[in-house]
Chains A and B, each alone.
Chain A
Amino acid sequence: MDIGDCYVGWATDEDIRTRGASGGLVTAMLAAALEKGLVEAVVVLKKLGEFEAVPIVTSDPEEVKAAAGSMHSVPIVLSRYLEYGTKVALPAKPCDARSTIEQAKRGQVDIDTTYIVGLNCGGTMHPAMTREMLETVYKLDPEEIVGEEIDKGKLIFETKDGEEHAIKIDELEEDGYGRRESCQYCAVNIPTMADIACGNWGVIGDLAGKGTFVEINTEKGIAILENAIDAGAVEITPADEKGKAIRAKVDGAMMKVAAAADKKYLSPIEGSHLDYYINALSDCINCGACKTVCPVCACGEGAKCTEFSSSSDTYKMSLFHLVRFVHLMDSCIGCGQCTDVCPADIPLTHIYQRFARPIQDEFEYKPGMDMTTPPFFGVDLLEEGH
């Protein structure tokens, strides 16, 4: 097995295979990593309801197995739950993987002992929006939903009676429903930065829907997959060229969709920028959630944005925000967490991205894609010729 190899795989366990999103390969791999001692802990989502799950850090393979399946209405980033020094594995959408890498650069994650099992991601939805959309657009009772799926550009909900209800994502998003805004313009669909990238794109023929496409990106990727094969937990077969081509094609198509969303949401502000920002932030209640939840920020309690800022400041904007805008310019990955938790419903991700994009373009630096040092960390002496 070599870096760059592509396979289609599935769990040998019948139960995991049926409950898994596309054959349960990821679940089987994570559980086997625990069972065979490759890792001490695994981060997964513990399902509490159809639209509710909470991240857990567990050493119990049964909890990992129970977590099989993709939750599209759980827009949570898992990297915040990693603890330095534990050998750990996590399933990772591109935003999970990228923030894990950013945390590694800041010494919060030991990249050598962290196995990033990447999941392709076409986007997540906020559960409150999902429920509203079900009621008003699908005309379905959210409590009747037993499964969800994205297929051929349609968002499909399955109800208890076994019926499937599909609506085109484009149409939903036209009306303000569907994926979170940040996911609509998230241009990274395949987690090339993860140790291994898993997804259902490119699985064709008899295996469609029953197998997971995997691409090996690193030595750790080889280790975690071989570990699972040795344990008898998964079976794989080489991916065929047609499948690879289809996967690449869909990825390209999705990137175009993201670029269109970019135009739609992030075209330059008309009129006074300052008025726009002062106005957008005028409802901030200084809860600090946007900082606490940010998965690329490594500051704890005594951070510059909080220590130098106070509610008693008589300023036109809060220093807290201005400092964060600068600090996130090189590292914001547009994961949407800040917008999700803002109690004043301020479109924070949107704002952070507006500040971050010009500088990330200028320095040709894309955070979280690899271990490259961010430009703000200082100057490379050799590069400067000293």
Chain B
Amino acid sequence: MAEATATETTNEEWQPKIVMFCCNWCSYGGADSAGMGRFQQPPTVRVIRVMCSGRMDPVFILNAFLEGADGVLFSGCHIGDCHYVNGNYKATIKYKFLKAMVNELGLEDERLKLDWISASEGERYAQVVTEFTEQIKKVGPSPLKPEGVI
């Protein structure tokens, strides 16, 4: 968690804070593979493990934004590979709702993304994270970020 009292002191390039939710069986494994394979990835992502992408509750995502996340990524197994049969279908539906919600709310569309990453796709994991980070850097800090949180 960010220190409420800390202030930005350096002149370095701004680094976004990204919260990423990974399902236990695929995407979290993907994160592991990325680490073991030593694929380059930016230090912008905080990973939170959930058992299945279907467990993703809109509350988690909204809460991440309110806490000051500049972007939220969530990922699970590729369609057809979910270890709980159809959790990722459910995630897809929720994603549609959340996208519509985030759009109406006036947060930039780029701040929320769903992607599928399997346990063996370490390189792809690094790529998704890198691309998303670049995307967030372009849109800048989230307007929902509470004051005093960097």
Contacts and interface: CB of A to CB of B under 8 A. Distances in A.
Contact of B97 (A274, A304, A316, A329): A329
B20 to A, nearest CB: 20
B144 A317 contact: yes
A316 B101 contact: no
A384 B89 contact: yes
A381 interface: yes
How many chain B residues sit at the interface, stated as a range, is 20 to 34
Interface string B1-30: 000100000000000000000000000000
A359 B96 contact: yes
DSSP class of A's interface residues: helix, strand, loop or mixed?
helix
A272 interface: yes
A316 B66 contact: yes
Contacts of B4: 314
B59 to A, nearest CB: 5
B146 A314 contact: yes
Interface stretch (B40-48, B103-111, B120-128): B103-111
Contacts of B36: none
A316 B105 CA distance: 13
A323 B93 CA distance: 16
Contacts of B37: none
Contacts of B59: 304, 308, 319, 323
Contact of B93 (A274, A275, A277, A375): A375
Nearest to A358: B100
A384 B93 CA distance: 12
B105 A277 contact: yes
Contacts of B145: 316
Of B66, B98, B107, B145, chain A has the most CB atoms within 10 Å of the CB of B66
Contacts of A381: 85-86
Given A325-B101, A381-B86, A384-B89, A275 B106 contact: yes
A81 interface: no
Given A273-B106, A277-B105, A323-B59, A317 B100 contact: no
A175 interface: no
Which 3 A-B residue pairings sit nearest by Cβ, starting from the closest?
Answer: A273-B106, A274-B106, A315-B66
5 contacts: A273-B106, A274-B107, A376-B93, A386-B85, A386-B86
